[in-house]
Amino acid sequence: MKWGVVTFPGSNDDRDSLYCLERVLGQEAVPLWHKDRDLHGVEAIVLPGGFSYGDYLRCGAVARFSPVMSSVVAFARAGGPVLGMCNGFQILCESGLLPGALVRNRSLAFICEWVSVRVETTRTRFTARYAAGECLSLPIKHGEGCYVADEATLTALRDNDQIVFRYVNRAGEALDAANPNGAVQNIAGVTNANGNVVGLMPHPEHAVEALLGGEDGRRLFTSVFA
Amino acid sequence: MASIPVDLQLAHDHGLSTDEYDRLVRTLGRTPTFEELGVFSVMWSEHCSYKSSRRFLRRLPTTGPAILQGPGENAGIVDIGDGLAAVFKIESHNHPSFIEPYHGAATGVGGILRDVFTMGARPIASLNSLRFGAIEHPRTAQLLKGVVGGIGGYGNSVGVPTVGGEVYFNPGYNGNILVNAFTLGIAPADRIFRATAAGVGNPVIYVGSRTGRDGIHGASLLASREFDDKSEELRPAVQVGDPFTENVLIEACLALMRQDLIIGIQDMGAAGLTSSSVEMADRGQAGIVLDLDTVPTREAGITPYELLLSESQERMLIVAKEGCEEAVTNVFATWDLQAVVIGEVTDDGLFRTMWQGEEVVRIPVSALTSQAPAYERPAARPADLTAKQQLDLGTLPLPSDYAAVLTTLLTTPNLASKEWVYRQYDFLVGGNTVVQPGSDAAVMRLKGSDKGLGISVDCNSRYCALDPYRGAAIAVAESARNLAVSGARPVALSDCLNFGNPEKPEVMWQFVQAIDGMRAACEALEVAVVSGNVSFYNETDGQAIPPTPTVAMVGIVDTVTHHVTQWFKYPGDLVVLLGETHEELGASEYLATIHKQECGRPPRLDLEREKLLQQVCVRAARDGLFSSAHDVAEGGLAVALAEACISHPRQTLGARVTLTGDLRPDALLFGESQSRAIVSVRPADWDQLKALLHTHRLPFTVLGEVGGTDLEIAGYMKIATAALRRQWQTALAQQLTHE
């Protein structure tokens, strides 16, 4: 399967995503340049973590206007699988491909640590190989990962089964003490109505090798494989 | 334009002494221009010229079969095999961080990153070594939050993981904190770039951010002089960083270096355009001429003096091959960065700069480099040192509750978990971090190789204050030991020598003693010094910091899967002490925290024993015999055992041990004898490890075994590890928010 990983200036985890796809999972993966509207025939797209264009404005607010994003939006609207991790999630929200927004952590500090997240739905292109209710150990590393949405959006997300991951404790409970950034309802990731676009704050691409701390992130990618 | 007349008073205002100004006039054979005075003042500053330290730094061992580049370049380089080279350096950014903690620390990170990628290496990990005043001092919490915020703000955004470091608190830093930043990069061993200018007519190209008016005289007035109550006024001399520009600058420079377009490249760090062009010309034994009118600027009206001295960040200077200008420009244009030809290499040995058709600077390059002043300043042992080294154990009362002492030690800011700090750093980006912050050393994997690299940074400045020779030797030994217990073979180090005013004989004595102590340890442990930095004038109102020769060391893990972490893992494992405990409480954390005394001599260091311990640890790790291995350091055996129980990222284990020996119980539990490690080993592996220990004649004691939920030290304490872990984990944050 051919994957594309977008590089914006300021992207950081783009090379890690390429390494994950090519070297760890044995996929074909190509970098996609922010100035290039051509998606080079990829069948799935990753928007990586980092600080696109410096993120001196709101995170992802500049990236959504980049030439490549118009193609990514069209690709997603046509049903193509798109995964946004961390800054990629922020960009998906800014682009209107996913509902809600990400604001500063309630601690007002950047947080890097391994957290537990619970798989809330397996109906998306990226979670088909997990079991509903399964708990994963994934790292987070962000300063603006507090997911927010208005009541109507939250109701719609729940009714349409669009909440994909929640932060939980080791017993699998979505308690406030297990919420690292203050996200509403402990939400760590969401999907669109179709289930082909998924955004999450944790970094599954950093959880694909036992040597580096765990492999729980692998199936986000392998779920998409034909 | 009318030039500003130069006289002796103006030279003094620039930090030059009367003798130095006379020397300057003699060198030129005339009165300097205002611009020339600015150039001399930065290039002859302590920070750039190393005029007080140069002759002593030569005593350090700097070579070895694997050393590809020793001191004198932007960073040191070690051949690590498999066609790869490790490129690294540590550098101070102390005064800027005290005046403006966020940007001071941030630009410290930015500067050290440029020193590494300018040599062709992709930065893969950063460390930092931080020193603050007493935690209860009114400025400490704000300084710590600012510095940690700045390191994270820059490092996280630039995309290089911050994987470890150290943070210490001592009243000796109340008026002068230390921020030392280290970066490690990896380069192909046959594609190293150096900062040299050669080839008459080759273009000199400026890339990166435009030049503004920030950081002027950072090197001369900020870094090369003491603080006093007017230091706040120096805030404009602190630069402001832009990690986004650095991020794209790294990618553009590494892309440039994959092609064959350039002769040399250097970052514009301290003293900006001046030092980068002068140092490149010096290394290439050439001259350089710059047309200052072509330098990209942020605003109109910037003077040639300001252009020469600005320390605006994220700028690089390149000497390209003639005819390659357009290709170079194109590489940077891809990343929306500016690249402009601003001058060329000459053969006249002069540093010349033009401004509106006039030559405003004309100085022999050698006058600014090899012919710069160098001093052998007087050194004298501090008169009060002998008295401070006295410690009468006979009058020191024994504690009544050893469990309470252990809890107190583990919740002092010096020994408490630093999780509050490192969770603000992205320690994962790049996908190479095998051992994350919280163990003795960080371990990075190397993509495309089975090897890994261990990195550690250390210095106990209380030891150094009470015996700078022994303290500096221990800094080297402990850094190496941290690597060895992690399974890494120590190979080379970078040093950051932080001291007070070298014009004071007592400070100079501390410096020379520290150099000699480092040399002894480096020679015994066969570790070369490949890069570093000297930071003098760390004083406020005449009060010098404790001598702080920080050591950042790199070691090789031959098979990265054989790395070792410090925490216990399996109930039933044997707990074994490697090395011996002596009755040594001088300069200990126990003495300072429990008895409020900073006195006595630091523990003895037997370098032969140290080397033996490290060899055994590396060998045992390679053979897979350790479940865990942990250096015994501040707080002694009891703290090391507790850390092994509670520092695992995801679990807490207990242990039952018995300590034997006819020492005072507090020395047995909390003394800081050197060359020791606490290891745990599976019962099935014990015979093999025991044979290894016997073969190497390394003393050891089986203390007990891992298991249960308590740390039980027979006869002294039984303490629940889960509660202890919570206290240890939250202590630092609690003490900071109580401010």
Label residue B223 by pLDDT band (50, 70, 90): low
Concatenating the DSSP letter of every residue in B284-323 gives: TT-EEEEEGGGS-BSSTT--HHHHHH---SSEEEEEEPTT
> What is the model's pLDDT at position B700?
98
Q: Tokens at residue A220, please?
A: 């986000």
Nearest to A9 among B248, B434, B436 (CB): B248
**pLDDT tens, position by position, B108-156:** 999 999 999 999 999 999 999 999 999 999 999 999 999 999 999 999 9
Single pTM value for the model: 0.96
Q: Does A143 touch chain B (CB under 8 A)?
A: yes
Q: Tokens at residue A224, please?
A: 């998409």
**Which amino acid type is present at position B222?**
L
- Asked if pLDDT for residue B2 goes beyond 60, the answer is no
Three-state DSSP state, A93: helix
Residues β-bridged to residue B169 = B132
> Which residues have a Cβ under 8 Å from the Cβ of B355 and sit 6 or more positions away?
B35, B292, B293, B304
Q: Tokens at residue B581, please?
A: 């405990």
> What is the model's pLDDT at position B238?
76
- Asked if pLDDT for residue B221 goes beyond 70, the answer is no
Mean pLDDT of A55-61: 91
CB contact under 8 A, B428 and A141: yes
Residue A198 exposed, middle or buried by CB count within 10 Å (0-12, 13-18, 19+): buried
**pLDDT tens, position by position, B548-571:** 999 999 999 999 999 999 999 999
Label residue B213 by pLDDT band (50, 70, 90): confident
Q: Tokens at residue B142, please?
A: 């704000």
Label residue B183 by pLDDT band (50, 70, 90): very high
CB atoms within 10 A of CB A199: 30
Average pLDDT of chain B to the nearest whole number: 95
Geometric angle at alpha carbon B204, from B203 and B208, rounded to 5°: 130
Label residue B739 by pLDDT band (50, 70, 90): very low
Active site residue B738: no
Length of chain A: 226
In A, residues 41-80, which contact B (CB 8 Å cutoff)?
49-51, 53-56
Concatenating the DSSP letter of every residue in B451-486 gives: -EEEEEEE--HHHHHH-HHHHHHHHHHHHHHHHHHT
Instruction: Name the pairing type of β-strands B677-681 and B574-578.
Output: antiparallel
> What is the model's pLDDT at position B529?
98
> What is the model's pLDDT at position B533?
95
> What is the model's pLDDT at position B219?
65
Nearest to B429 among A12, A55, A109 (CB): A12
How big is the A-B interface in CB pairs under 8 Å? 87
Concatenating the DSSP letter of every residue in B395-429 gives: GSPPPS-HHHHHHHHHHSTTTS--HHHHTTS---T
**pLDDT tens, position by position, B498-548:** 999 999 999 999 999 999 999 999 999 999 999 999 999 999 989 999 999
Alpha-carbon distance of B76 to B131, in angstroms, equals: 24
> What is the model's pLDDT at position B269?
85
Q: Which residue has the tokens 């997603």?
A: A76
Residues of A in contact with B445 (CB under 8 A): 211-212
E strand spans, B615-688: 628-631, 655-657, 677-681
Q: Are B498 and B505 in contact (CB under 8 A)?
A: no
Q: Does A111 touch chain B (CB under 8 A)?
A: yes
- Asked if pLDDT for residue B636 goes beyond 70, the answer is yes
Mutation for A interface: B144, B332, B336, B428, most A CBs within 10 A = B428
Q: Are B344 and B302 in contact (CB under 8 A)?
A: no
Half-sphere exposure of B491 (CA within 13 A, CB side): 28
- Asked if pLDDT for residue B227 goes beyond 90, the answer is no
**pLDDT tens, position by position, B455-501:** 999 999 999 999 999 999 999 999 999 999 999 999 999 999 999 99
| Percentage, residues of chain B above pLDDT 70 | 97
Alpha-carbon distance of B430 to A17, in angstroms, equals: 10
How far from each other are the two terminal CA atoms of chain B, in whole angstroms? 53
Instruction: Name the pairing type of β-strands A197-200 and A82-85.
Output: parallel
Q: Which residues of B touch A (CB under 8 A)?
A: 149, 152-153, 156-159, 242-245, 247-248, 335-336, 422-434, 436, 445, 447, 560-561, 649-650
What is the interface pTM, i.e. ipTM, of the complex?
0.97
Residues of B in contact with A10 (CB under 8 A): 157, 244, 247-248
CB contact under 8 A, B430 and A16: yes
Label residue B240 by pLDDT band (50, 70, 90): confident
- Asked if pLDDT for residue B448 goes beyond 50, the answer is yes
| Residue positions of A annotated with a catalytic role | 86, 203, 205
Q: Which residue has the tokens 């003639």?
A: B322
SS (H, E, C) B529-596: EEEEEEECCCEECCEECCCEEEEEEEEEECCHHHCCCCCCCCCCCEEEEECCCCCCCCCCHHHHHHCC
For residue B166, the 8-state DSSP code is E
Mean pLDDT of B396-411: 98
CB contact under 8 A, B426 and A20: no
Label residue B235 by pLDDT band (50, 70, 90): low
Q: Are B323 and B341 in contact (CB under 8 A)?
A: no
Residues β-bridged to residue B649 = none
Label residue B236 by pLDDT band (50, 70, 90): low
Three-state DSSP state, B11: helix
Q: Tokens at residue B267, please?
A: 């970052």
Alpha-carbon distance of A19 to A22, in angstroms, equals: 5
For residue B238, the 8-state DSSP code is S
Residues β-bridged to residue B555 = B454, B490
Mean pLDDT of B427-456: 97
Residues β-bridged to residue A7 = A33
Alpha-carbon distance of B604 to B473, in angstroms, equals: 10
> What is the model's pLDDT at position B695?
97
Alpha-carbon distance of B147 to B143, in angstroms, equals: 6
